[in-house]
């Protein structure tokens, strides 16, 4: 790989890392944030969801902006705004100020991320180079969450949770300089922004997530729950209808014409729905039941992180030998087994070492085998004019799965704990039940793979045989 490409890949990975880190860097700090800003366990989920909802919701608009205004320009604007909003989040005097700042952080990330992935796709055209670049990008995207837990825990215990936000500022300034110096200007196209499509998707997904979080507090029969859920469903339906009729949609529905790609998007949505919730629930268990400090709870994810990063060096050989689909299915099965066994190990008497340590490593191996194939399949046979939209859709599936999965499983947690102030026994039981919900999500991801991707592969084989004849 040429040196200039290594520099471009390093910039793209660094941009992706700070964006992914911020989805989890506050998790181990949530008990401290709750105490300092007077937030309940349920409301504290919005420290996560305000970020990832805005991130996932505006990704499609960000991808379209990159196509029309230039990807280098949007990458720079996104990084600059991300640095500014990180500073504001770190200075937040109230919970409301923090949540609004986190939402604008998510919007900034939505401008930068699809531009970065589209630049990667355009910079690495040769198959072997692209596979290696996607492997590194996927490893950082997947493992960045657990790195965020460790950093967030360290800052919370030894300095302040606010440093997790402040640290983005100097990194962002450095990245802005590197982007301008090493990444060439990209093509600017004429076209329209599908603003109505962007708004219906963002508000619709927010309505769904808000409805599930309200269900955790009020139950399913209350207007506080069913009104936002209904509004979310109606708006997401309007989004699909808008995209079908728009002359220049933010997400061309033709991307779903490939069963292969559709299965990859759905599989990613469901896998992240189950996997991301672990980063919220396990630290809560370790701090509230096992009495770990914030930093210790973050360090507890080291076996997961090390295993996931370790898989990065093996993935190229595994994919070359077995193919994306077999590696993906094996990774999902390993993740299911690890999560199921971990849910059974969560109790008041549970021990971190060796049981949880080994199971987290197993789950890291499974996750490390899943995301690279899903990324590669999500970009399969995409036309050049749709690269930005396809890149955005991959990240939309990731962030939407994270926000909706957490919202669903926090409802499971509240229904299982039966009280606002659960005892250690009730808390452990609720966490265990929530992890079983994670298992259901990952099993659904495996089912999506079997139902969507395998039939598509068999159809492709039949067509190839007919051509040969």
Answer yes or no: do 383 and 433 share one domain.
yes
Answer yes or no: do 242 and 306 share one domain.
no
Answer yes or no: do 224 and 295 share one domain.
no
Return the structure tokens found at 293. Answer: 């400090």
Answer yes or no: do 289 and 386 share one domain.
yes
Assigned domain for 189 exists? no
Find the range with the poorest average confidence among 152-161, 185-194, 295-304, 426-435. Answer: 185-194
Overall domain count for the chain:
2
Return the structure tokens found at 5. Answer: 């490409």
Answer yes or no: do 116 and 154 share one domain.
yes
pLDDT at 46: 83
Assigned domain for 176 exists? yes
Q: CA of 345: how far to CAs of 337, 359, 410, 432, in Å?
A: 12, 9, 19, 8
Find the range with the poorest average confidence among 207-216, 265-274, 447-456. Answer: 447-456
DSSP character string of 105-131? HHHHHHHHHHHHHHHHHHH--SHHHHH
Whether residue 464 has pLDDT greater than 50: no
pLDDT at 469: 47
Q: Look up the domain containing 428 and give its range.
A: 3-184+250-468
Answer yes or no: do 161 and 84 share one domain.
yes
Whether residue 467 has pLDDT greater than 50: no
CATH number of the domain that 426 lies in?
1.20.1250.20
Whether residue 462 has pLDDT greater than 70: no
Assigned domain for 236 exists? yes
Answer yes or no: do 387 and 277 share one domain.
yes
| Of 431 and 277, the one with more pLDDT | 431
Which one, of 107, 89, 122, lies nearest residue 9 by Cα? 122
**The tokens 């996932």 sit on which residue?**
56
Assigned domain for 231 exists? yes
> In this structure, what DSSP letter does residue 26 have?
T
pLDDT digits (tens, 9 = 90+) for 163-199: 999 999 999 999 999 999 888 877 777 777 778 888 8
| Of 416 and 81, the one with more pLDDT | 81
Return the structure tokens found at 416. Answer: 């299982």
pLDDT at 389: 76
Answer yes or no: do 324 and 443 share one domain.
yes
Phi-psi bin for 184: left (phi > 0), alpha (psi -120 to 50), beta?
A: beta
Answer yes or no: do 348 and 206 share one domain.
no
Return the structure tokens found at 182. Answer: 């090493």
| Of 8 and 392, the one with more pLDDT | 8
Answer yes or no: do 38 and 72 share one domain.
yes
Return the structure tokens found at 464. Answer: 């190839």
Assigned domain for 342 exists? yes
The CA distance from 206 to 219, in Å, is 18
* Highest averaged pLDDT of the listed ranges 20-29, 33-42, 54-63, 171-180: 171-180
pLDDT digits (tens, 9 = 90+) for 30-47: 888 888 888 876 777 788
Average the pLDDT over 364-388 and give the result. Answer: 85
Which one, of 261, 300, 233, 309, lies nearest residue 449 by Cα? 261
Answer yes or no: do 230 and 166 share one domain.
no
Answer yes or no: do 225 and 323 share one domain.
no
- What does pTM read for this prediction? 0.82
DSSP character string of 30-79? HHHHHHHHT--TTTTHHHHHHHHHHHHHHHHHHHHHHHHH-HHHHHHHHH
The CA distance from 461 to 469, in Å, is 12
Q: Show which of 249, 278, 293 is a domain's final residue.
A: 249
Q: Show which of 206, 223, 249 is a domain's final residue.
A: 249
């Amino acid at each position: 790989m040429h040196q200039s490409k290594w520099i471009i890949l390093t910039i793209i990975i660094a941009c992706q890392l700070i964006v992914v880190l911020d989805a989890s860097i506050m998790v181990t700090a949530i008990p401290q944030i709750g105490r300092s800003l007077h937030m309940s366990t349920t409301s504290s989920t919005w420290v996560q969801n305000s970020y990832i909802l805005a991130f996932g919701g505006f990704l499609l608009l960000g991808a379209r902006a990159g196509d029309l205004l230039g990807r280098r320009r949007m990458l720079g604007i996104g990084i600059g705004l991300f640095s500014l909003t990180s500073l504001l989040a770190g200075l937040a005097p109230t919970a409301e100020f923090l949540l609004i700042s986190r939402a604008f952080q998510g919007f900034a990330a939505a401008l930068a991320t699809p531009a970065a992935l589209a630049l990667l796709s355009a910079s690495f055209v040769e198959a072997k180079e692209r596979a290696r670049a996607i492997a590194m990008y996927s490893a950082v995207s997947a493992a960045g969450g657990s790195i965020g837990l460790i950093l967030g825990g360290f800052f919370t215990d030894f300095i302040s949770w606010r440093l997790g936000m402040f640290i983005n500022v100097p990194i962002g300034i450095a990245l802005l300089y590197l982007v301008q110096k090493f990444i060439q200007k990209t093509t600017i196209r004429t076209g329209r922004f599908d603003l109505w499509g962007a708004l219906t998707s963002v508000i619709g997904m927010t309505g769904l997530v808000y409805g599930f979080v309200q269900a955790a507090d009020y139950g399913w029969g209350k207007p506080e729950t069913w009104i936002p859920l209904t509004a979310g469903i109606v708006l997401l339906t309007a989004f699909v209808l808008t995209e079908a009729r728009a002359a220049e949609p933010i997400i061309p529905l033709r991307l779903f014409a490939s069963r292969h790609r559709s299965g990859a998007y759905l599989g990613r949505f469901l896998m992240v729905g189950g996997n991301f919730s672990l980063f919220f629930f396990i630290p809560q268990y370790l701090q509230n039941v096992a009495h770990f400090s914030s930093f210790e709870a973050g360090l507890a994810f080291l076996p997961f992180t090390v295993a996931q990063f370790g898989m990065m060096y093996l993935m190229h050989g595994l994919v070359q030998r077995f193919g994306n689909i077999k590696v993906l299915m094996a990774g999902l099965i390993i993740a299911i087994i690890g999560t199921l066994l971990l849910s059974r190990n969560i109790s008041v008497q549970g021990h971190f070492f060796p049981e949880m340590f080994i199971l987290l490593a197993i789950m890291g191996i499974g996750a490390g085998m899943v995301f690279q194939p899903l990324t590669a399949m999500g970009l399969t046979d995409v036309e050049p004019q749709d690269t930005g939209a396809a890149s955005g859709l991959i990240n939309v599936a990731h962030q939407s799965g994270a926000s909706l999965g957490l919202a669903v499983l926090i409802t499971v947690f509240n229904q299982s704990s039966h009280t606002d102030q659960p005892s250690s026994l009730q808390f452990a039981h609720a966490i265990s039940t929530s992890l079983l919900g994670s298992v259901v999500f990952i099993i659904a991801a495996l089912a999506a793979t079997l139902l969507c991707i395998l039939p598509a592969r068999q159809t492709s084989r039949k067509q190839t045989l007919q051509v040969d004849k």
